[in-house]
Structure formats: C-alpha cells, structure tokens
Amino acid sequence: MTALDQRLPPSPAGPVLRRAAPALLVYAGVRALGLAVLAVWGAVAGRSPHTLLSARWDSLWYTRVAEHGYGWQVTLPDGSVHSNLAFFPLLPWLERLVSAVGPLSYADAGLAVSWTASLFAAAGIFAVAEHVYGRRAGVCAVALWAVLPVGVVQSMAYSESLFTALAAWSLYAVLTERWLWAGVLASFAGLTRPVGAAVVAALWVAAAVRVRRERRVEARVVLGVLLAPLGAAGYVLWVGRRTGGGLFGYLDVQAGWGNGFDFGYAFARFIGEKFTSVPGALAGVGLLVGVALVIWLYVLGVRRGQPLPLLVYGGIVVALALCAAGYFGSKPRLLLPAFPLLLPVAVALARLRASRSALILTSVAVLSAVYGAFWLHGSGPP
C-alpha cells in the first residue's frame, strides 16, 4: 500500500457492491422488461423508442449543452425565455467526455451515462437500505425503485439516475461516517440538479448532530461540510455572473421557465381546476390520492424511526417537488430521487415470504412497464 493509499479515506462502496449483486440483477431485469414493452409499443405506434429515450424534451437540452455549451435560449410567443442555463452541467459534461473517448453521439452518450448511473443508483439504494434494515429490505427497496410507474425515466438521457446515484452514495457515506466521501459526492450531486441542496442539508444536519453528541469537532467532518455545497454554489454563482443577476441570477433563469417555489399554491390550484368537469374530477382525485400517499409514506418513515439524514433528504426532495410552480406533469419524475419514501414498504415486503413478495413485485413491474410506454408516447414531457 502506498503512502497516498494510506491517506485516502475508505471508499463508501467496497464490499457492498458484491452484496448488492442480487438487487442489481432484479433491477436490470425490471428495466429490461420496461425497455422491451417500450420497443413493442413503439413498433405498433410507429415511434422510435431510441428517440423517446435519448432525443426528446430535457434530453435535447442536455445534448445541446454538451455540443455547444451554454448560452442557447428560446423565446416563446408569450415572451418567456427558456435558457439552457437552467440545466446543471454534470450530465452534459459526462456526455461530452463519453462522446470524446468513443464512437457515441452526445445523445447516445447520455443514454450510456444514464444507464450506468442507474445501476450505481440501485446499488446506492441497496447500500442505504441494507445498512439500516438488512439485506432483504435492500433488495426490496431496489425492486420498488425500479417498478415505480415513472421508472422508465431511469433509462432516459435525463439526470435523475445520475443524481440519485450520487445522492444515495453520499447518504450512505453520511450514515457510515465517511465524511470526506459524503462531501465530495454531495458536491457532485449539487452539480447535477438543483435539488442537490437536499443532500447538502442532510449532511449538514448529520454533522451537527454528531458534533453535539461527541462534543468535539473533527477535521474530516468540517471538511465534508465545507465540500458539500461547492458544486451547486459554484454553478449558481457562475450563472449569476454570466447573466448579471448576481446571487439571484439562477432564480431569474428558472422564472423564465415558469418555475419557482410558491409553497404548492400553483399545484393546488391546478388540482382544483380539475374538478370543473367530470373527467377532470377523476384526474383530480387521482392527484390528491397520489399526494396523500407521498405524505403518508414520509410520515410513516418518521414514525418508524428512519435515520435523520434520510428524513431531511427525503423531506426536502418532496417539498421541492410538490411545492414548485410549473410543469405539473413532471412532478412524479421529480419525486424519483426520493427513495427513502420506499423504505417502509421495502421493510414490509422483506417480512413476507420470498415467493409472495416476488409475485407482488413482478405484477407491479408489468404494470409499470406498460404505463411507462404509455407515458412516453404521450404529448407532454415526463
């Protein structure tokens, strides 16, 4: 072992990846089923599954950043401006890197990054769930994340898989007190999506609790705390300088997209408007049930004593998803990184006989695959 090896903190992964093998096989099987159903649906509908996964909606914005850099924008008829500065840089940076070292286009590089990151995300979710609740719960948690109705996004050239991978492993590093790794991974998460603030907050709260409990401050804890916000802060400050908006420059960019935090007022009004017609009322009821389910799962995690870093992270992800204005159809996707919500259900499934839990998950996986294909063939962005 070299002197450098002796100075580096131990990796948060290590043997966890070997123990995660069954969970990764389950995850790969579910995603393969989803892609197969999407391919069949696309063949019948005359649509290209490859295009749906790699070259529509946000995927196009990421590939344009990878190819041309920042500075491109679209002015809509109503005067609002959609700037590509709204998209955080880590995914397009990786797309550019993968495309530069191989034969893949930027769009295909985005798929390669997302598919690889989804496996690391599944492994990270397993690591967290196994650490807290045991190996069977870890496998069930990964299976549940895979079979989510919007799980097909994990296979798209979007940033959700990359962000979830970084967030999950950062949280695992926090839970196992690998503070330097936690800070580095949190910083990269902050370069991936704005909700990276949830990872930073989870690390900061955990560090504060540890310092209070131990009544001493360790250098590695302080360093992890200082590293965590650098990614998000660096990009937001760069956008502010580029736009001339200072500290609020990034918020101005998001406002151009119609996004902002209004404590859920716009979303509540959107749901309320559904009840003006009979068909819309059914959709409104479905939305209310969905929101109630999300809140119930979070409360269940609190009542079951879920570790504080997971509660902080999950709570902020849920709050930012449900209380943001604009793009209401994207809210299920925005909740995708909130995997701690699944842990109470994973524990319940782990207590069942293996054959029964497998039957439940297989049935849900089939429904999820069909819904995912239907969803991507819709008119609006996921």
pTM over 0.85: yes
- pLDDT range class, residue 49, cuts 50, 70, 90: very high
Query: Is the model's pLDDT at 5 over the cut of 80?
Result: no
CA distances from 58 to 64, 223, 369, 378 (A): 10, 34, 21, 15
pLDDT of residue 2: 39
pLDDT of residue 3: 39
CA distance linking residue 285 with residue 271, whole number of Å: 8
pLDDT of residue 283: 87
Query: Is the model's pLDDT at 4 over the cut of 50?
Result: no
pLDDT of residue 222: 97
The domain ranges of the chain are 19-376
Query: Of 57-66, 95-104, 217-226, 270-279, where does mean pLDDT reach its minimum?
Result: 270-279
Residue 336 CB coordination number (10 Å): 22
16, 147, 294, 52 alpha-carbon torsion, rounded to 10° = 110
- pLDDT tens-digit readout, 283-312: 899 999 999 999 999 999 999 999 999 999
- pLDDT range class, residue 206, cuts 50, 70, 90: very high
- pLDDT tens-digit readout, 351-378: 999 999 999 999 999 999 999 999 999 8
Nearest alpha-carbon partner for 152 in 192, 111, 206, 194: 111
CA distance linking residue 229 with residue 233, whole number of Å: 6
φ, ψ dihedrals at 274, nearest 5°: -65, -25
- pLDDT tens-digit readout, 317-339: 999 999 998 778 899 999 999 99
Query: Is the model's pLDDT at 229 over the cut of 70?
Result: yes
- pLDDT tens-digit readout, 160-191: 999 999 999 999 999 999 999 999 999 999 99
φ, ψ dihedrals at 259, nearest 5°: -95, 155
Q: In the chain, which ranges are E strands? A: 73-75, 81-83, 260-261, 324-325
Which three-class secondary structure state does DSSP give residue 39?
Answer: helix
pLDDT of residue 1: 37
pLDDT of residue 10: 66
CA distance linking residue 2 with residue 360, whole number of Å: 49
Query: Is the model's pLDDT at 59 over the cut of 90?
Result: yes
- pLDDT range class, residue 11, cuts 50, 70, 90: low
Question: Which tokens hold the place of 353?
Answer: 């006989």
